[in-house]
Structures are given as C-alpha cells and as structure tokens.
Amino acid sequence: MIEIIVLGSGTGVPSIRRAGPATCLKVEGQTLLIDSAAGTLRQLVKAGISYDTLDILLYTHFHPDHIGELAPFIFATRYTPGYKRNSPVMVLAAEGLKQFYQSMIQAFGQWVKPEPGKVIFEEIPPEMRAAMQFPPLTIRSAPTNHTPQSLAYRIETSDGRSVVFSGDTDFCDELIELAQGTDLLVLECAAPEGYKIPGHLTPSEAGKIAQDAGVKRLLLNHFYPNCDEHDLITPCGKIYKGPIILAEDFMRLVF
C-alpha cells in the first residue's frame, strides 16, 4: 500500500485554504516528507503524523517555500520533549544542501546542530540521474527545469510500484523520462491556462508531461491563488486521458 498525504497544496503566497508545499508519503514501513514549507510541522500534527516517524526528507530545491521548515525540524529533534527516534533521519537534496545547512548554523548557532547520528545530510549531483537504495525502497532523481539545483524524485517499491514528485518545474523532458509508467505523478501546476509563469507549468503542459510519460494517474498541486478561480481539469484533460486529481490540504490517496 502507498499512502500520500498532502500537507500543503499551495505556494509561498499566504493562504487560509492552502499551506505551502509539503507532501508525506507512507510506503513499505517508511515515512518520507517531500519538501517542507514553513508550518509543515504543524500540518503534520493536524494530519495525525508524528514528526519522529519521518525517515527521509527529500527537498526538490532550495526556495524558501520548499525548505523553510528544515531549521525548525532540526530544532525540534533536539529540544522538543518526547522525541524518541533512535535511527537517523536522512535529508537529501541537490549539491548545495551542505552549504545551505552550514548557513543555517551561522544564522542560528548550536540550536540547529542535530545530536550526533540523528540527522544525516546527503547531496545528489543535480546534473545527473541518480539512483539510491533505501531498502526496500529505491529513490531515483532527475534534474528539472526550474533552478540549477532542482530535482524530481521517483520512489519505487520492492514490488515495482512507484510515485513521482516533480517539485517546481517548467516543461521538462527529463521529468517525462523519470515518470514513465508511474502509478502516480504528483505534478506542480502553479498557474491557470493562459497565465503562464516561467519555471512553472500550466494545465495543458502538465497534461502533456503526464500523457507523454504514460502515467496511471495525475495529482496536480502547488497552486497559486488564481488557480482556484479557473478550470484546471478541462485544459489538462484535453491532453492527458487518465484520472486527474486536484490537491487539497490533508487530502489522502491510497493505492
């Protein structure tokens, strides 16, 4: 069973309806967090997920609305009563992660230094396709068209199922290749049709990526506020012929 919990379906724009980007994935006994905007720890609590169950944190890039909760997370592992996790949490992102972390230490000092063995940082070369083993899972990455450090991730189970998270991206052949045949593509769609933002997708572009990749189902997220005033499904559905789901905070998908 794969379970997806949308913790934040919005952007960096403050919104009552949509928190900033964060998605939880539960699969084969492991709990992953993909991106963590400011406030994600509280979203986890509201979703009934304890932050000490997180095994892997995947960051798609270093913009504040995607990595803003990393410092509070590390702080919470040290100073929150009741944090009982013994095995380390893996934090993965593109090259630049360790420099980003050192900058956090310069800003906050010892308060964001994890206890020994509690948090491990690993960098992924952003210009190459990578495959990492976290038994029983395999995590693959590919560069996307957003920033030089932007990555999409494909998480594969031992029985061959998979889910792909795009992060922020413009139209991208590397993402189409990474997402081939996946059971679920979680794809950004920041702007309605006719309101193109460079570095992001419109519904028709999202539909073409999903259709070209032959994905089994498509979950659109990362909506700027004007997305809620427009029809996103129709222009997407003209190109992609599979099921299309629009993300909402605390939505759960199980497959």
Instruction: State residue 126's pLDDT score.
Output: 78
**Dist. CA 54–CA 87, nearest whole Å:** 10
Instruction: State residue 97's pLDDT score.
Output: 97
Instruction: State residue 83's pLDDT score.
Output: 78
Across-strand partners of 143? 151
pTM: 0.96
Class (C level, CATH) for 2-254:
alpha beta
* Contact between 162 and 156 (Cβ < 8 Å): yes
Instruction: State residue 117's pLDDT score.
Output: 87
Instruction: State residue 157's pLDDT score.
Output: 97
Domains of the chain, by residue range, sit at 2-254
The label of the residue with tokens 């900058």 reads: 103
Q: Structure tokens of 225?
A: 């506020």
pLDDT along the chain (255 residues), means of 10: 97 97 97 98 97 96 98 91 85 97 96 91 88 96 96 97 98 97 98 97 98 98 98 98 98 97
Instruction: State residue 128's pLDDT score.
Output: 75
